[in-house]
Amino acid sequence: MGERKGVNKYYPPDFNPEKHGSLNRYHKSHPLRERARKLSQGILIIRFEMPYNIWCDGCKNHIGMGVRYNAEKKKVGNYYTTPIYRFRMKCHLCINYIEMQTDPANCDYVIVSGAQRKEERWDMADNEQVLTTEHEKKQKLETDAMFRLEHGEADRSTLKKALPTLSHIQEAQSAWKDDFALNSMLRKRFREKKKALQEEEERDQALQAKANLAIPLVPETEDDRRLAALLKFHTLDSYEDKQKLKRTEIIGRSWFSSASGPSSSSKAGSVLKKLAQNRKSAPAGSPITVGDLGIVRRQSREILESPQHVTETPKSEEPQVSECTTQDWPTYPQDCSQETAKTPKTRGPQGQDGSCQERPRSSSGTSQEVRGAPAIALVGCLSLAVELQAGAGGPGLAALVAFVRDALNFLVTARPTAVNMARAACDLADAAAQEAEREGATEKAVRERVICYAEDMLEKDLRDNRSIGDLGAHHLLARVSPAGSKVTVLTHCNTGALATAGYGTALGVIRSLHNLGRLKHAFCTETRPYNQGARLTAFELVYEQIPATLITDSMAAAAMAHRDVSAVVVGADRVVANGDTANKVGTYQLAIAAKYHGIPFYVAAPSSSCDLHLETGQQIVIEERPGQELTDVNGVRIAAPGIGVWNPAFDVTPHDLITGGIITELGVFAPSELRAALSTTIS
């Protein structure tokens, strides 16, 4: 049944030959099916094969000879009794239609429209071929003796010129007389060449594996051999040599970008010098001194008994308590008494019931040998690297990892408000643990992993600072000075090269503005009570020859009102998920004054200072410093004895006061955008 349907011999049950006549009439279809859909117009659909190469006028593409199309064939005339047919087809590369028709007069096809012929007809005269004799010349050769003589000389001359070519053709043809011999010779050459290529490829692969090359090799020449004979190779530097070279480079690097100016010692550089000395292990059980880590480890009892931890009070007097109402201090404690061994709780903003919400608080009795959140993290990790290089920790992998983790946990307590040290400690401890869990791990490998990680932190912090400076400068200019004029910036505390690995965060933005030639002036606050602005920021600005003015903290609002301040840029010790920012105390009041005067307020900090685990600033632990920083100057008391002292090192600026944005090495974000922007980058 299927075969009959395929050859159109199936007759349905209701087929009547007298009524239908044929199957085509029964199916009401033409025998040519779709090919005859335009037959009423005299057009038949056929398969047309391109007779020669053409260029399409629509897409300018080449269409080769032999390409087949569904074409409409139509008779358009006659040449004598020979019909002339026209073929219309659509280019398969565009919407252009091509029309061609037969040319019986020249036994050819001609293009009517839609394309151009690619001329490649063979011209025997142009290709120096012997022309065939035409019919007229044949008759003249038979009747004209002189013409026959002249033509014969020309033919002999042409034959003489063509003889070498003809001989070469005959020789090439004769080589194919013995197919077996020629085929054997070709196969032998192929095998020899293939073997040579395989050997060359194996040599190249061996050389690439030995030299660790990822590029293809070119064939060797005589010049290459001669040049290679003149070269002398030496062994590569060992890993230890490279590490020593890298540490020497870091130690010798200046904190500042300027080539001139007073010299400055690097705290991180001094720690790295100890790394380079490769000291011997300290004796077992020997106490760790200031020279080992750059800090003194104290027990809690020692801290409580430290004279720096308690404010001097006459023996005859009881500690005075200064009562602070919630109206005067809405975000700070009512208990502003002197610092004692007992750590009070710090109160936050009022709750709905009028009671004060408690904010975590930490008292610190340590002296600030190193300050600045990024610098504390760097020097802390490098100090641990010094101990490991000296042989501390162990014996055994478990003991070594425990030593690393305990040391890092202790370092975090140096400045709990800043998140950088805590994050670096977590990452460094995990790196040491992962290296220890690796198969075949050794104590040397764990120590080297920690040291390299600390050195990489130093390099990354410098790169991040430069990105923060450049991104912040361009964002600030686009907002406050799109016309190209210069800007005036106010900053607080020290956020420059002395607080980081180099260049700085907020001060890095000022540096970048100065390098762009767009900084008019910079104002830096003295930053009481530790005077980081007067002692450090002012020093860096003078060193870099940046036009700047030092003001007291209480002059900031007046400067905004009368000194044409364009923007305020500060650093950060911790930025939480909603954008609340903990920074040097005094930052909060700068943000309030900036918002009142309509001045953009920016926070510049690396992503390592952002803590997405804390939702609001109320959860940030605020470090409190010894009272002597307020009451004493150079060891001389200037405050009335018995006065209560409250000396928080930081305050928290609410996110809605950060009107300019938070500048990180990844970009400038509004506080509301920070969580989404950093959620995939930091943990």
Contact 649, 622 (CB under 8 A): yes
HSE-up (13 A, CA, CB side) for residue 400? 28
Q: What is the pLDDT of residues 260-279, one digit of tens each?
A: 444 444 445 555 555 455 44
DSSP, collapsed to helix, strand or coil, labels residue 512 as: helix
Q: How many residues does the chain have?
A: 683
Contact 57, 96 (CB under 8 A): yes
HSE-up (13 A, CA, CB side) for residue 560? 23
Say which residue the tokens 């390299």 belong to.
452
Q: At what angle do helices 443-480 and 506-515 cross, to 10 degrees?
A: 60
Q: What is the pLDDT of residues 369-423, one digit of tens each?
A: 666 667 777 777 777 777 777 677 768 777 777 887 777 777 777 666 666 677 7
Mean pLDDT, to the nearest integer, of 25-35?
78
Contact 571, 554 (CB under 8 A): no
Contact 491, 568 (CB under 8 A): yes
- With a cut of 60, say whether residue 358 has pLDDT above it: no
Contact 542, 509 (CB under 8 A): no
- With a cut of 90, say whether residue 32 has pLDDT above it: no
pLDDT number for residue 193: 92
Domain boundaries of the chain, sorted by first residue: 18-117, 373-459, 467-637+644-680
Contact 332, 358 (CB under 8 A): no
Residue 447: left if φ>0, alpha if ψ -120 to 50, beta else—which one?
Answer: alpha
- With a cut of 80, say whether residue 522 has pLDDT above it: yes
Q: What's the token pair of residue 582?
A: 């903990």
Strand pairing class (548-551; 356-359): unpaired
CA 412, 290, 453: angle at the middle one, nearest 5?
50
Fold of 467-637+644-680: Rossmann fold (3.40.50)
Among 219-223, 237-241, 527-531, 568-572, the range with the most confident prediction by mean pLDDT is 568-572
- With a cut of 60, say whether residue 128 has pLDDT above it: no
pLDDT number for residue 473: 93
Q: What is the pLDDT of residues 51-110, one digit of tens each?
A: 999 999 999 999 999 999 999 999 999 999 999 999 999 999 999 999 999 999 988 999
Q: Which helix (H) or strand (E) covers residue 342, if one does?
A: none
Q: What's the token pair of residue 236?
A: 């590569």
Say which residue the tokens 């705290």 belong to.
267
Contact 361, 624 (CB under 8 A): yes
Say which residue the tokens 């109206």 belong to.
327
Q: Chain-centre distance of CA 623, in angstroms?
A: 37
Q: What is the pTM of this model?
A: 0.47
Average pLDDT over the chain reads 77
Give the DSSP per-residue string, 254-323.
Answer: -SSS-SSS-----HHHHHHHHHHHTPPPPPTTPPP-HHHHSS----HHHHHH-TTTS----TTSPPP--B
Which amino acids are annotated catalytic?
573
Better-scored residue on pLDDT, 452 or 371: 452
Q: What is the pLDDT of residues 625-647, one digit of tens each?
A: 888 888 998 889 999 999 999 99
- With a cut of 50, say whether residue 223 has pLDDT above it: yes
HSE-up (13 A, CA, CB side) for residue 672? 3
Q: How confident is the model at residue 289 (pLDDT cuts 50, 70, 90)?
A: very low
Q: How far apart are CA 129 and CA 70, in angstroms?
A: 39
Alpha carbon dihedral 32, 38, 40, 42, in 10-degree steps, equals: -90
- With a cut of 90, say whether residue 602 has pLDDT above it: yes
Share of the chain above pLDDT 90, in %: 33
Q: How far apart are CA 308 and CA 341, in angstroms?
A: 11
pLDDT number for residue 19: 82
| Least confident span in 90-99, 175-184, 279-288 | 279-288
Say which residue the tokens 């049944």 belong to.
1
Contact 66, 39 (CB under 8 A): no
Q: How confident is the model at residue 148 (pLDDT cuts 50, 70, 90)?
A: confident
Q: How far apart are CA 259 and CA 485, in angstroms?
A: 27
DSSP, collapsed to helix, strand or coil, labels residue 364 as: coil
- With a cut of 80, say whether residue 290 has pLDDT above it: no
Q: How confident is the model at residue 243 (pLDDT cuts 50, 70, 90)?
A: low
Say which residue the tokens 């429209």 belong to.
113
pLDDT number for residue 335: 35
pLDDT number for residue 310: 37
